[in-house]
Structure 1
Amino acid sequence: MTGTGVLADNAIRELIATGAIAAEPAVDSAQIQPASLDLRLGTTAYRVRASFLAGKGRSVKERIDEFCMHSVDLSQGAVLEKGCVYLVPLVERLALPKGMSAVSNAKSSTGRLDLLTRAITDGGEEFDRIPDGYQGPLYAEICPRSFSVLVRPGMRLSQIRFRQGQSVLSDRDLAALHDRAPLVSGEPVISSGLGFSVDLRPAEGDLVGYRAKPHTGVIDLERIGYYDPADFWEEVRSKSARIILDPGAFYILVSREAVTIPPDYAAEMAPYLAMVGEFRVHYAGFFDPGFGWAEAGGAGSRGVLEVRCHEAPFVLEDGQVVGRLVYERMSERPARLYGAGIKSNYQGQGLKLSKHFRG
């Protein structure tokens, strides 16, 4: 196995070959990304009364038995309804070697649909964090927040990244990396990661984002480039370089900065911090090596922000720092980079809805 850092695609293939990652049906090569593995839904969803963690010494199956309201057969496709919580056993299971941990996250398209998706494990005391040496099944907690969705077995709503040792860059190392290979357009804001701000002053026109409509139809997750955005989203326009976020509403906005992830690094959008304001910037998706990298067709790609306002209306202004990217070292350079020879939906992106919508 390779050295310290986030495991790249070839190392993930080795984990599959040695049985550290097992699945039936077997893992498809299309699931393997430059620095992560897509996880597939199984054949059954359990509608549960509430979100939960298994807790130390307890299995997820025990908790499903405790909180399950009914089960849903996904084999012919089934609708997961807005506002409900579901647990879906995933196809993949793990037998991680000692010294290796993992972290899961929703895929970018999942986050852009406000489809809350988190991994839980037996004995787990945190969402999306798989402890060192974990052996056992994986489950996805799914809660559609804005739109009901039609899902089928094998769909890939989340992904998992594997780590050996300490991989996160210190602020000093991050600043040195930026000096060698600029990570962001403009002056970097470095504090426990690379800060990014919201763009509410577009170069052309006054379209600054989208807001999810409260009463819409179902989105079939297999349909790509199919839906009319106007059926699901309201355009958010501003001539004043500010907007007021409404409590409970979900927005798609875009960062002012163009971000670059060099080939030997990966990044993750850090969780919302309460002192930023009365909203949360969702942190769906990983940033793979090569995201925004010029040699992989990027030349800087802006980050799409999935924003939900909390208890009080909140004024969001152009250039306001709303989150940060945490950079990590790769254990080795991936065989393929994001956007280079693989289907990468969001390379070179600006303000962009999920791949399910036209335009």
Structure 2
Amino acid sequence: MTDQMQGVLPDHALEAMIAAGQIRCANPDADQVQPASLDLRLGSVAYRVRASFLAGQGRPVADRIAEFEMHRMDLTHGAVLEKGCVYVVPLQEGLALPADVTAVCNAKSSTGRVDCLTRVIADGGTEFDRIPAGYTGPLYAEICPRSFSVKVTPGLRLNQIRFRRGQAVLSDAELASRHAESPLVDGKPVIDEGLGFSVDLTPTSAGIVGYRAKPHAGVIDLTAIGGHAIPDFWEEVRSENGRIILDPGAFYILVSREAVTIPPDCAAEMSPYLAMVGEFRVHYAGFFDPGFGHGVPARGVLEVRCHEAPFVLEHGQVVGRLVYERMATLPARLYGSGISSNYQGQGLKLSKHFKS
């Protein structure tokens, strides 16, 4: 490939990979290919395993499932994955990657917003969500619901995969130059190995700053869009002084103070801002596709879990960063433009499974 094809591969390149058998995707859904990623679909069986695991060098995932399996569940008519348990589900997609293409996976945004930890594992893998160049083989989703038990069915999309050729990450100097030409964020940018963003603890018109997961809620049916009442699963979080105290073990949905823009020739991914801030973890699910927030201000939703000790989180505290990557070529479609994009123009927002 030429230098022009270095970067994140766009939708039309993914469609070509499917046609060439480099992405093994039988009967793909019409909207499965996104501007810079591919949604991955659950298969028809889930294995309840004793613990999370990686395959390990030279070992197939199927062998490790046999080693750790407790029981298996048929998902054909739907099944409940219980909170606190670990499951492995073979995915409907597999790969036969070219020698110069790597892949990275992430949970879809709607998955992270219900605190469902899900990661992709592959044969011979020594890292979660990372697929080496030239990999040929199946893919599996490891699923661990954290706050709520969830109902799943075959074909449900909890993860997505992004493909890269060569080095794609924009340097801080490139980010600063791009922001000077066309703002990537409203206000003064904090650029340090990506574009920093902070938490917004200014109350909405409803007087809230976020949501906290209820500890003993029912089951969330992940196929039921808009099918759940917010008060059944979430407590409203309020603040009068621009700060909240995070409780150990609790899960929160908050929002970034900044509105961000992903230009059409870029993609982005959320990363932790500072690993030494160890009292809480902001888990960023999903990728940011080209066109997110482009012409329509949109903020980042923060999925926050507090660890061992209560922690004071204050308005404007920097909690994460957006790592921008160049696209290999422009995608045929942008986020929010005639495709199933649930969070364009978002502010503080729960997942699509809850009633507005």
Fold agreement, TM-score > 0.5? yes
Deviations 1:291-310 (A, max 9, x none): 0000xxx2x20000000001
**Partner SS, residue 187 of structure 1:** coil
Which whole-Å CA distance do the structure 2 matches of 1:172 and 1:311 have between them? 37
Q: Is the 8 A contact 1:210 1:236 kept in 2?
A: yes
Which whole-Å CA distance do the structure 2 matches of 1:44 and 1:205 have between them? 42
Moved more, 37-46 or 265-274: 265-274
Aligned to 2:207: 206
Q: Is the 8 A contact 1:272 1:281 kept in 2?
A: no
Which whole-Å CA distance do the structure 1 matches of 2:51 and 2:164 have between them? 30
What one-letter code is carried by the residue in structure 2 that aligns with 1:28?
Answer: D
Deviations 1:125-151 (A, max 9, x none): 110011111110000000000110110
Q: Is the 8 A contact 2:256 2:300 kept in 1?
A: yes
Aligned to 2:42: 41
Q: How much has 1:30 moved relative to structure 2? A: 1.0
Structure 1 residues 181 and 343: alpha-carbon distance in aligned structure 2, compared to 1, 3 A threshold:
same
Tell me if 1:314 matches 2:311.
yes
Q: How much has 1:44 moved relative to structure 2? A: 0.5
Aligned length: 354
Moved more, 240-249 or 337-346: 337-346
Consecutive unaligned residues in structure 1, runs of 5 or more: none
Tell me if 1:334 matches 2:335.
no
Indicate the percent of aligned positions where both proteins have the same amino acid. Answer: 73
What one-letter code is carried by the residue in structure 1 that aligns with 2:92?
Answer: V
Which whole-Å CA distance do the structure 2 matches of 1:271 and 1:91 have between them? 30
Aligned to 1:237: 238
Tell me if 1:21 matches 2:23.
yes
Which whole-Å CA distance do the structure 2 matches of 1:58 and 1:181 have between them? 48
Which whole-Å CA distance do the structure 2 matches of 1:64 and 1:205 have between them? 47
Query: What is the Cα-based RMSD across aligned positions, in Å?
Result: 1.1
1:220-235 to structure 2, matched below 5 A, reads 220-235=221-236
Which whole-Å CA distance do the structure 1 matches of 2:218 and 2:203 have between them? 30
Aligned to 1:323: 320
Deviations 1:72-108 (A, max 9, x none): 1101110000000000000000000011000000000
**Partner SS, residue 217 of structure 2:** coil
Which whole-Å CA distance do the structure 2 matches of 1:127 and 1:191 have between them? 25
Q: Is the 8 A contact 2:196 2:273 kept in 1?
A: no
Aligned to 2:7: 5
- TM-score of the aligned structures, taking structure 2 as reference length: 0.98
**Partner SS, residue 274 of structure 1:** coil
Aligned to 2:275: 274
Tell me if 1:69 matches 2:70.
yes
1:283-298 to structure 2, matched below 5 A, reads 283-294=284-295, 298=296
Tell me if 1:151 matches 2:152.
yes
Structure 1 residues 344 and 131: alpha-carbon distance in aligned structure 2, compared to 1, 3 A threshold:
same
**Partner SS, residue 5 of structure 2:** coil
Q: How much has 1:152 moved relative to structure 2? A: 0.3
What one-letter code is carried by the residue in structure 1 that aligns with 2:177?
Answer: A
Which whole-Å CA distance do the structure 2 matches of 1:238 and 1:206 have between them? 8
Which whole-Å CA distance do the structure 2 matches of 1:205 and 1:237 have between them? 10
Aligned to 1:106: 107
Consecutive unaligned residues in structure 2, runs of 5 or more: none
Give the ranges of 4+ consecutive aligned residues of structure 1 lying more than 2 Å apart after TM superposition. Answer: 202-206, 271-274
Q: How much has 1:277 moved relative to structure 2? A: 4.0
Q: How much has 1:273 moved relative to structure 2? A: 3.6
